[in-house]
Each structure stands twice: as C-alpha cells, then as structure tokens.
C-alpha cells in the first residue's frame, strides 16, 4: 500500500492564506501509519511548494510520480471543490487508484455527500487514525454505509483514538515548518464546549492532550530548527487540565520562541498572565463572538461577556498581541446589539484587535438545524455563508461591515497588485510576458502554467489586441479551481465596461462565493490590471474604471508631478528599476501601512525598500516568468 497525503490551501491572488495551510492532518496520519504499520505501507506527503503553489496539473503529476495505490485528501470547506476536481483527474488517468476523502468538511449533511461521486472510493467521517487502523487491518467494513451512492466510513460516537496511540508528527520528522519559519503543533484534540455553530466539539467532544514532557521535546527540537513562532493548536489552551503543567514545561525548557494559541479570557488573572509570559506566549486569539449575553447562552457559549472583555483588556495591558473575533448574524442577537458590541470594544481601546468573521452555517451543526427551522438564508455550497435570517437582513450585514470598516480602518477587500520582477530561472512558472505587438499568442502559455495563480502580462499597442487575448484566456483557462491575473501594459484608456461584461460571465465559482464580502470585481477568479507610464492617463483611468485596476509606473517624472496633483493615497504603484532610493522617504510617509500596494521591477529595490521600512522580506519561493 502506497499512500500520498495531500491538503490543498485556500487560494487567493496574493497567496495571503498559504501560511494558514498547516498540514498537521497529513503529517499526523503519515506519522501514525508509518509508526504502526511500516512493514505494510509506505506514506508520503507532497512537497510544500507543490502542494501550496502548484497548478492542478502540476499537483496531479506530482501525486502520480509516487505511483500511489491510495491518495488521501484532507478536506476543508475552502479546498473540497478543488480536491474533487484533482481527484477526478487522478481517477481518469489511473482508475485503479483508491481515492479517500476525509477532514472536517466530510459530514453527513455536507454538500459533497448530497450527490454521487464515483471517483471517490471512500468518504471518511471521523478521525483519520481510527479509519486507517481498521482499513490497514481490513476490519473497516463494519463501519461502511452507503449515502447517495457514496461509500462512507463513519466512526462511532463513542470510539476514540487514545492519546498514547497518536503520534506527534513534528518530533518524529513528518511535520515541516511553514515558509515563514512558523510551526503549528496539535497539543489538544477535542473540545469540551458545545457552541452551536461549531463542528469541532460534535466531531471530537472527548478531550485528549499530549503529555507536558512532549511539549518540552517539541521546544527542544524547534530551537535546533530555528523556528520563528509556534502555534499551539488547542481550542481553549487555558481551560486544559494540563494548563499549569504545560506552562511549567515551557518555562523549564527555557523557551524563547514566541508562542500563539487560542484562549478564553473570562478567567484571566494576574497570576495567569505572569505564567503565560514566562512560558513564552506573545499572542492569543479570543473568540468573543458578541457582547449579547442572551445570544451567548443561546448558542451554547457558557461565558460571561463582561468578564471576557475585562480579561481581554488585562491581556492587552500586559503587552500581548490579540485577535478578538466577533460574528454578526448569530440567532437572538440583533443588528443594534451587534453594533453595540463593536462600540464597546472600541470604547475599551480594542479597535486594532477586532476581527470580524462571517457567520457560516456549517452542515451538521445545531445552527444548521436552527437555520432550516427558521427559514434563514445561507449558501448551500461551501463556504456556507449566512445571507440573512434570524434578526438580520442582508442590508443589516452590509451596514455592519461598512460600520466596522469606518470605525476600525479594516478593509474586507484584500489589496493586491502583481509583481513586475521577471525572473526566468525560478522554480515554478507563474507568469508569462506576452508581446502581442509581435503576434505572440496567449495560448502558447497555457501548457506552461505551473502555479495555482498565473499572471498574463500583455505588451500591446491596441485595445483590440487586449480584447482578443482576454477572450482567449477566459475560454481556455480553468477558472473553477485556479486563479489568474491579466496585466495590460498599455498607456491608453480601455473599454472598462466591455471587459467587465466579459468577466462577469465567470461568477459561478467557489472563489466568487468565498470572497462574498469583497467588491464584485475582487471576487472574480480573473483580475484585470493596467500599467500606465504617464500620470495623466493613470488619473483619468482612476475616474473611469470599475473593473480594471490601474497601476502607476513610478518614474522620476511621475514622482515630480505627484506633488502638483490632488490624489488620494495610497494607490497602486510599480517602482521603476533603480528609483527606489530616490523615493524611499516618500514611500515611508505614504505606504508604511500599505506596502502591499507597492510593486517592483527589481528584486534588489524591493529588498532595499522592505529593509528600510522595517518590513520582513522573504523570497522563500522563487517563481519563473515565461517570455513569449
């Protein structure tokens, strides 16, 4: 038996979510299988670069390179549709391969199980270790069920993998740190709480925790590996019965690595803060959700909102970095009450700490049943966003989002502009520079696409060339599970409305649903940009365009003219090669908080600017540009 484990990331045009694709599940299952059944199986994971950045064909080829008998996908709501598409390609090429789908998204009421998917041999509901210990021993048939034609393995509610049978993957060499040097480690599995919007406690209510001495072993190895930060995966770290022992183990290991975890703040005391500081914690996530006490009780959160707030303030005053999550739309909450939640947090000086999360009506949760009972409207496909119902209309939710942006400065639209550094020697081909003025055809780039987000740079001298090229790209590219940017290097005004009509034909995609709270054109799998060489045309385009994103090439001439015009900062720019040092002071004044709107033509310029502005610079993955 030869198993390939894979967990795909959430895609966006700027790869902003790659660091969140912590491959703990594939690593844990690989460690479990090889530690217990090495003589019977071989198990591998895909390399991080391929798994996180690779295009669908690149990933398929990488999987088949291992000649697997089994391919096991860890499915979340953000990757299940792409996982299915890749599984279909694998099955078409190698019908004999067994495809396994597990992970949090695989639930009885999940969208994927409402249709028959013959390419998936077994769907797994429950813990992966429980499935594999029975599957490898061929005792799994007793747990198989047929649902809408699908074969589904269901772990019994009272069956759990004991903690001494689990294998911690990092210390065993199966879990690698992320590109930014961070590491996530599962120290607790299961949650004792029963929040009605959450699947975690329903799937794994029995709490199991690794021994404190394992924590010390993890820290010892992490120091050797020069890990930059460790995320301890535990739903409520300070509620664990091992909390004090964990902290003491961290203190005794002389931990100097910044730690991050999730906690409840209602029981935070001065003594707790002292212990957390000595242990090495620097940041926390706190799920406040709302200050409406009636709502908290209704959704099963047994906490006192005021005490949570007081604990949050104590943590901030002690110097910890915080992320305080709140969710609009919960049943028995109201728009007015939720606005008061935002105002209260602002009054306590927590404007920079608030994170507004959309409510998801996850199949299998009590909230899902309640939403059906009350005829609430929500997406029937991933990501299952709540649309309206209970006490909230769509207009209420939009008003809350707008109020949140106005009062905190947070932006739901993720700023992004492409890189203009054209490297012909990178690892994966991520872009193509196509000279339309010389008759180059964008179709020639299609077979060279190696990344999940690919950029077409179009050198052109007429809008007709761009129209034809865009039609070619949209008709030949896979817009359902991959993303694209088209950059028009052209200094005249384009027909923005015509391009918008073309793009809006591509809205029935997962990415469009996932980016529900962003502006329409930022939700599309294909984004259009235009680079302007003159300030005058750029300013004209800013006023006219709604679909196309104008970018200004910052030359010495344009830089001089900027002081003479009325323009709102920041706006997207590309620093002309060699001009970074001359404009560094201006960049510090205008772009310190929005460096993502600055692109470069030269890597040395980018490194200089980032270093000068105190921004971490990393080039862990190098991408290649195809010249056509």
Could you tell me the sign of the dihedral formed by the alpha carbons of 342, 346, 350, 354, in that order?
A: positive
Inter-residue contact 178 to 169 (CB < 8 Å):
no
**Does 101 fall in a domain?**
yes
pLDDT digits (tens, 9 = 90+) for 430-475: 999 999 999 999 999 999 999 999 999 999 999 999 999 999 998 9
Strand, coil or helix: 283: strand
259 and 382 both lie in a single domain: yes
Helix or strand or coil: residue 138? coil
Domain assignment of residue 170, yes or no: no
From 286-300, 337-351, 505-519, 522-536, the region with the lowest mean pLDDT: 505-519
Residues 6+ apart with CB under 8 A from 88: 119
* Same domain membership, residue 257 and residue 346: yes
Where do runs of H (alpha helix) occur along 563-617?
Answer: 584-591, 603-612
Please indicate, yes or no, whether residues 369 and 439 belong to a single structural domain of this protein.
no
Using omega within 30 degrees of 0 as the cis cutoff, is the peptide bond preceding 570 cis? yes
Give per-residue pLDDT as tens, 549-601: 999 999 999 999 999 999 999 999 999 999 999 999 999 999 998 999 999 99
Q: With pLDDT > 70 as the criterion, what percentage of the chain qualifies?
A: 99
- Give the pLDDT score at 199: 87
Confidence band, pLDDT 50/70/90 cuts, at residue 274: very high
Sort strands 150-154 and 144-147 into parallel, antiparallel or unpaired: antiparallel
- Is pLDDT at 152 greater than 70 in this prediction? yes
pLDDT at position 283, please? Answer: 98
Same domain membership, residue 238 and residue 129: no
Question: Given this model, what pLDDT does residue 205 score?
Answer: 65
Strand bridging mode 98-102 / 428-435? unpaired
Interval 408-436 mean pLDDT? 91
Rounded Cα–Cα distance for residues 41 and 36 (Å): 10
Question: Do 293 and 441 fall within a single domain?
Answer: no
pLDDT digits (tens, 9 = 90+) for 519-560: 888 899 999 999 999 999 999 999 999 999 999 999 999 999
Do residues 235 and 187 touch, judged by C-beta distance below 8 A? no
**162 lies in some domain:** no
Question: What is the tally of structural domains in the chain?
Answer: 3
| Contact in structure between 288 and 324 (CB atoms under 8 Å) | yes
Q: Residue 43 is encoded by which pair of tokens?
A: 């198990």
pLDDT in tens, 608-628: 999 999 998 877 688 999 999
Cβ(576)–Cβ(553) below 8 Å: yes
pLDDT score recorded for residue 72: 99
**Could you tell me which residues come within 8 angstroms of residue 395 by beta carbon, excluding any fewer than 6 positions away?**
none
Higher pLDDT, 426 or 494: 494
The stretches of 79-127 forming alpha helices (DSSP H) are: 80-93
Residue 518's pLDDT band, with cuts at 50, 70 and 90, is: confident
Residue 583: φ, ψ to 5°: -115, 15
What's the rounded Cα separation, in Å, for the pair 203 and 428? 38
Percentage of residues of the chain with pLDDT beyond 90: 86
The predicted pLDDT at position 589 comes to 95
Residue in 198, 52, 41 with CA at minimum distance from that of residue 133: 41
**Residue 508: pLDDT band with limits 50, 70, 90:** confident
* Rounded Cα gap, residues 31 and 28, in angstroms: 5
The first and second tokens of residue 494, run together, are 């384009």
* 151 DSSP β-pair partners: 146
Q: Which of these, 180, 172, 201, 539, lies nearest to 364 by C-alpha position?
A: 201
In this structure, the answer to whether residues 281 and 329 fall within a common structural domain is yes
Beta strand residue intervals within 218-280, DSSP E:
229-233, 259-263
Helix 56-65 vs helix 80-93: angle between axes, to the nearest 10 degrees?
Answer: 50
239 inside domain? yes
Contact predicate 499/528, CB 8 Å: yes
The three-class DSSP label of residue 94 is coil
Considering the domain architecture, whether residues 500 and 536 belong to the same structural domain is answered as yes
Residues 546, 597 within the same domain:
yes
Contact 228, 201 (CB under 8 A): no
In a domain, 270, yes or no: yes
Gap between the Cα atoms of 111 and 233, Å rounded? 27
CATH number of the domain residue 491 falls in: 3.20.20
Which residue, among 404, 408, 289, 394, has the nearest Cα to 339 in the 3D structure?
Answer: 404
Phi, psi of 294 (to 5 degrees): -60, -40
Say whether both 401 and 446 belong to one domain.
Answer: no
**Residue 558, φ and ψ in degrees, nearest 5:** -65, -35
Q: Is residue 190 part of a domain?
A: yes
Q: What is the pLDDT of residue 506?
A: 63
Length of the chain measured in residues: 628
pLDDT tens per residue, range 173-231: 999 999 889 999 999 998 888 899 998 866 666 889 999 999 999 999 999 999 999 99
pLDDT at 23: 93
How confident is the model at residue 317, as a pLDDT? 98
Same domain flag for 468 and 321: no
Query: Between β-strands 188-189 and 208-209, what pairing exists: parallel, antiparallel or unpaired?
Result: antiparallel
Angle at 536 between CA 530 and CA 539, to 5 degrees: 60
Q: For residue 411, is pLDDT > 80?
A: no
Q: Is the pLDDT of residue 507 over 90?
A: no
Beta strands 598-600 and 623-627 are unpaired
The answer to the question of residue 163 being in a domain is no
Alpha carbon 581 to its chain centroid, in Å, reads: 34
Ranges of beta strands (E only) in 413-511 are 428-435, 453-459, 483-489
How much is the mean pLDDT over the chain?
A: 95
CATH number at residue 106: 3.40.50.2300
Residue 269 lies in a domain: yes
CA 448 – CA 434 distance, rounded (Å): 13
Q: Which domain holds residue 396?
A: 177-408
Mean pLDDT across the stretch 327-350? 98
Q: Is the pLDDT of residue 232 over 80?
A: yes
Indicate whether 285 and 344 sit together in one domain.
yes
CATH number for position 309: 3.20.20.70
Residues 566 and 609 in one domain: yes
């Amino acid at each position: 038996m030869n198993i390939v484990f894979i967990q795909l990331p959430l895609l966006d045009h700027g790869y902003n979510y790659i660091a969140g694709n912590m491959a703990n599940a594939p690593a844990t299952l690989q460690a479990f299988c090889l530690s217990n059944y090495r003589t019977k199986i071989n198990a591998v994971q895909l390399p991080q670069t391929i798994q996180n950045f690779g295009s669908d064909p690149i990933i398929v080829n990488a999987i088949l390179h291992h000649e697997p008998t089994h391919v096991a996908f860890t499915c979340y709501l953000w990757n299940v549709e792409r996982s299915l598409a890749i599984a279909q390609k694998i099955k078409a090429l190698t019908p004999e391969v067994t495809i396994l789908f597990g992970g949090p998204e695989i639930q009885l009421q999940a969208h994927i199980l409402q249709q028959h998917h013959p390419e998936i041999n077994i769907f797994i509901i429950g813990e992966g270790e429980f499935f594999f210990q029975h599957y490898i021993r061929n005792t799994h048939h007793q747990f198989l069920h047929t649902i809408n034609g699908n074969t589904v393995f269901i772990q019994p509610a009272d069956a759990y993998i004991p903690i001494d049978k689990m294998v911690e993957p990092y210390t065993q060499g199966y879990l690698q740190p992320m590109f930014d040097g961070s590491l996530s480690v599962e120290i607790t599995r299961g949650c004792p709480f029963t929040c009605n919007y959450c699947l975690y406690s329903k799937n794994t209510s029995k709490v199991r925790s690794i021994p404190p001495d394992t924590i010390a072993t993890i820290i010892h190895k992490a120091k050797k590996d020069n890990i930059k930060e460790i995320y301890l995966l535990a739903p409520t770290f300070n509620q664990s019965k091992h909390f004090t022992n964990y902290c003491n183990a961290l203190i005794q290991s002389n931990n100097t690595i910044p730690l991050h975890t999730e906690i409840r703040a209602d029981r935070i005391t001065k003594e707790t803060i002292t212990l957390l500081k000595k242990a090495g914690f620097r940041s926390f996530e706190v799920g406040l959700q709302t200050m409406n006490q009636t709502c908290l009780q209704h959704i099963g959160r047994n906490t006192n909102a005021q005490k949570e707030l007081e604990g949050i303030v104590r943590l901030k005053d002690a110097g910890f970095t915080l992320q305080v999550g709140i969710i609009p739309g919960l049943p028995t909450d109201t728009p007015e009450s939720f606005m008061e939640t935002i105002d209260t947090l602002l009054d306590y000086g927590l404007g920079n700490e608030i994170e507004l999360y959309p409510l998801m009506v996850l199949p299998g949760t009590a909230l899902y049943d309640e939403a059906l009972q009350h005829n609430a409207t929500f997406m029937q496909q991933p990501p299952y966003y709540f649309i309206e119902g209970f006490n909230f209309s769509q207009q209420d939710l939009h008003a809350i989002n707008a109020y949140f942006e106005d009062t905190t400065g947070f932006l739901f639209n993720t700023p992004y502009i492409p890189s203009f550094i054209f490297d012909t020697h990178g690892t994966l081909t991520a872009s193509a520079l196509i000279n339309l003025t010389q008759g180059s055809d964008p179709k020639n780039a299609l077979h060279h696409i190696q990344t999940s987000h690919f950029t077409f740079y179009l050198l052109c001298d007429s809008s007709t060339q761009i129209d034809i090229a865009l039609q070619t790209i949209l008709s030949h590219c896979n817009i359902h599970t991959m993303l694209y940017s088209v950059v028009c290097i052209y200094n005249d005004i384009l027909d923005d409305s015509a391009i918008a009509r073309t793009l809006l034909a591509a809205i029935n995609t997962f990415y469009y649903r996932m980016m529900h709270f962003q502006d329409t054109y930022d939700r599309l799998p294909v984004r259009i940009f235009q680079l302007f060489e003159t300030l005058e045309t750029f300013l004209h385009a800013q006023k006219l365009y709604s679909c196309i994103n104008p970018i200004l090439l910052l030359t010495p001439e344009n830089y001089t003219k900027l002081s003479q015009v009325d323009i709102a900062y920041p706006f997207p720019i590309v620093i002309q090669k060699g001009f970074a040092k001359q404009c560094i002071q201006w960049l510090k004044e205008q772009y310190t908080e929005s460096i993502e709107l600055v692109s470069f033509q030269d890597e040395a310029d980018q490194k200089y600017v980032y270093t000068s502005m105190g921004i971490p610079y990393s080039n862990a993955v190098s991408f290649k540009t195809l010249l056509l």
